[in-house]
Structure 1
Amino acid sequence: MFVMTVDQRRSRRERDRVPDLLARFTDTPVVRSFDRTAGDEVQAVIAEASTVVDITLVLAELGTWSIGIGAGAVEEPLPDVTRAGRGPAFEAAREAVTLAKHAPGSVCVRGPDTDTAADAAAVLSLLAVLVARRSPEGRAAVEQMRAGRSQSEAADALAVSKQAVSQRLAVAGWQAEAAGRRTAIRLVERVDPRRDVAS
């Protein structure tokens, strides 16, 4: 199981962004939804590594969150609300979010396999830096690709030429993100070796 603990950066100088985050991930497939734990911090329980990576990159694009990812066991049955959960994955996520506040890309991963966790954090940090630096035009083009559209369909939706979409995707590093995302998913999945046994 994965636990994500996410803390708003510069919360004393900015408005409370937790309600926006909760609304954004309402339809995301999770085991326990994001829940405010304290102050400007939220936490969720997630079963799939791909979902963890998807959420991480969305938060990295927003640029206002420190992202801690913990892998491991959780005490079951899980309570109805995330903040009442306990177990090693929760402890790992707590450690990770603290370290994320000073990490590149504001991302950290912790779990039983510490070497793989460090590798996963490195790849996610690179991806986080990549997506955070995109222009609004680049982000709009990438959103079209993530929605499964072709470049021609994206061009129509954005009211630009196909060549403009291609250029925006190149500058935004879309192909690098796609490859890096696949690597990140594999690494996050392996942070808890017991998942391989269970599967």
Structure 2
Amino acid sequence: MFVITADQIDSRNDRDRAGEMIAGLVAEFGDVFTLPPDQTAGDEIQMLLADARTSLDLVLALHRSGHWSIGLGVGTVRTPLPDSARQASGEAFVGARDAVTRAKKADTRFGLTAEPVGPAGPAGARQHRPVLDGEQVEALIATFLLLRQRRTSEGWAAVDLRETGLTQVEIAARLGISTAAVSQRLRSALWKVDRSARPALVRLLEDLDNATTGTGPST
């Protein structure tokens, strides 16, 4: 399972953004949450998910806003689940707490902590070990976030329209610029790199999650 704990940056000198962020995430992502986003300790939000792709997308959305330190915990969760994220517990929640604490000092404001893989079982039993551990996956996601962090507002405008399925000609007409300028903005925004990297990061997160249950990688 995946737990995201996000703590608002410099909340003492800013308005409370938790309610607004929760509403925005629910509007954008719908009913993908195992436990919906919940405001926990004042300016902090927390959510539980079962899907690696959605978890990464949520991390990206929070990071893009620029207002959150983000911790992603990967691991087991105590069942039966309560009604809200603030009442839930388990190794994934412990990991998210550790990750968000470290994220506050990171350049990307992101941290990831995965539940340690347990000791080997009986002789002959197969145990899934992740290809990369949590620290290594964190480093790759952090690098990915740094690339996006350097994207200009013009680059974001072109990328957002491209990801809706518009062609470069259509984007040019929408933005009132040339097709060549659209192409340059997409290149500078590293849009193709972004699209290529995301599926690989999702697989690595799935692999970490599978390791906590002892199952092999999805195919």
| Fold-level similarity (TM above 0.5) | yes
| Contact persistence 2:116–2:212 (CA under 8 A) | no
Q: In structure 1, what is the Cα distance between the partners aligned to 2:102 and 2:163?
A: 30
| Contact persistence 2:115–2:212 (CA under 8 A) | no
Q: Aligned pair 1:57/2:60, yes or no?
A: yes
| Higher share in helix | 1
Matches within 5 A, 1:15-164: 15-27=15-27, 28=29, 29-113=32-116, 116-164=133-181
Q: In structure 2, what is the Cα distance between the partners aligned to 1:64 and 1:45?
A: 20
C-alpha distance 185-17 of structure 1, shift in aligned 2 (>3 A): same
**What letter matches 1:197 in structure 2?**
T
**What letter matches 1:6 in structure 2?**
A
Corresponding residue pairs, total: 199
Q: In structure 1, what is the Cα distance between the partners aligned to 2:175 and 2:82?
A: 44
| Contact persistence 1:57–1:127 (CA under 8 A) | no
Q: In structure 2, what is the Cα distance between the partners aligned to 1:185 and 1:31?
A: 18
Structure 2 unaligned spans of 5+: 118-131
Counterpart position of 1:187 = 204
Percent identical among aligned pairs is: 39
Q: Aligned pair 1:197/2:215, yes or no?
A: yes
| Contact persistence 2:92–2:115 (CA under 8 A) | no
| Contact persistence 2:40–2:86 (CA under 8 A) | yes
| Contact persistence 2:16–2:43 (CA under 8 A) | yes
Residues 4-40 of structure 1 deviation map (CA, whole Å, 9 limit, x = unaligned): 0001111111111112211211141221111101111
| Contact persistence 1:33–1:45 (CA under 8 A) | yes
Q: In structure 2, what is the Cα distance between the partners aligned to 1:164 and 1:154?
A: 10
| Contact persistence 1:117–1:187 (CA under 8 A) | no
Residues 78-117 of structure 1 deviation map (CA, whole Å, 9 limit, x = unaligned): 1111111111111111111101111231111111258521
Q: In structure 2, what is the Cα distance between the partners aligned to 1:49 and 1:148?
A: 23
TM-score, structure 1 normalization:
0.92
Deviates most, 39-48 or 143-152: 143-152
**What letter matches 1:142 in structure 2?**
V
| Contact persistence 2:64–2:149 (CA under 8 A) | yes
Q: In structure 1, what is the Cα distance between the partners aligned to 2:163 and 2:59?
A: 15
TM-score, structure 2 normalization:
0.84
RMSD: 1.8
**What letter matches 1:148 in structure 2?**
G
Higher-Rg structure is 2
Pairwise CA distance, 1:60: 1.6
